[in-house]
Amino acid sequence: MTNLIGIDQKQAEALNTKLNELLANYQLFYQNVRGLHWNIKGREFFELHLKFEEFYDDAVLKIDEIAERILTLGGEPLHTFSDYLRIAKVKAEKGIYEGSKGVQIVIGNFSILIGLEREILKLAADAEDEGTVALMSDYIAQTEKTLWMLNAYLG
């Protein structure tokens, strides 16, 4: 049996489970970089304040795309913070004021996100779900470059 867009129903359900996990992790990531944007101090303030804003602006777009992909596959996106906190691997951070510590947190968060994106990419390829494959491929390419740049920033 297939769903509305011709994806095997069981495979679509497995994809939706993983996409909801990615959604939860992006929500926590969003909150983390939002807090870093607000609270960062020190000599790197101006560049990191802007960079963290860039990250949360991008995250909010991805959050919407992931939720809409879940709906396209016939699922229901999670939408409560209790659900996000229950399933996310990204941990909520607070009280971070120092630039390099903030960048290290972002690197750790991106590492979790890219791992999930790769899992979803494999599931989507197996399901012949080109829409999800394309979305994850774009996310992975962007995250790889960002991880390289953040690691270069730390030296």
- The whole-angstrom separation of Cα 46 and Cα 131 is 38
Sequential DSSP letters for 38-54: HH-BSTTHHHHHHHHHH
Determine the pLDDT at residue 122: 98
When pLDDT is cut at 50, 70 and 90, the band that residue 121 belongs to is very high
The fraction of the chain above a pLDDT of 90, given in percent, is 100
Listed in order, strand segments (DSSP E) in the chain are: none
Averaged pLDDT score across all residues of the chain: 98
Determine the pLDDT at residue 128: 98
Look up tokens 């596959």; give the residue.
73
Determine the pLDDT at residue 143: 98
**Nearest alpha-carbon partner for 117 in 21, 52, 14, 51:** 21
When pLDDT is cut at 50, 70 and 90, the band that residue 155 belongs to is very high
Determine the pLDDT at residue 145: 98
Judge contact between 8 and 1, C-beta under 8 A.
yes
The fraction of the chain above a pLDDT of 70, given in percent, is 100
Tens of pLDDT, residues 37-74: 999 999 999 999 999 999 999 999 999 999 999 999 99
Question: Which domains does the chain possess?
Answer: 9-154 (1.20.1260.10)
Look up tokens 């879940």; give the residue.
70
- The whole-angstrom separation of Cα 139 and Cα 22 is 11
This prediction's pTM: 0.97
- The whole-angstrom separation of Cα 90 and Cα 9 is 29
The region that residue 6 occupies, defined by phi over 0 for left and psi between -120 and 50 for alpha, beta otherwise, is left
**Nearest alpha-carbon partner for 51 in 110, 102, 89:** 102
Judge contact between 147 and 118, C-beta under 8 A.
no
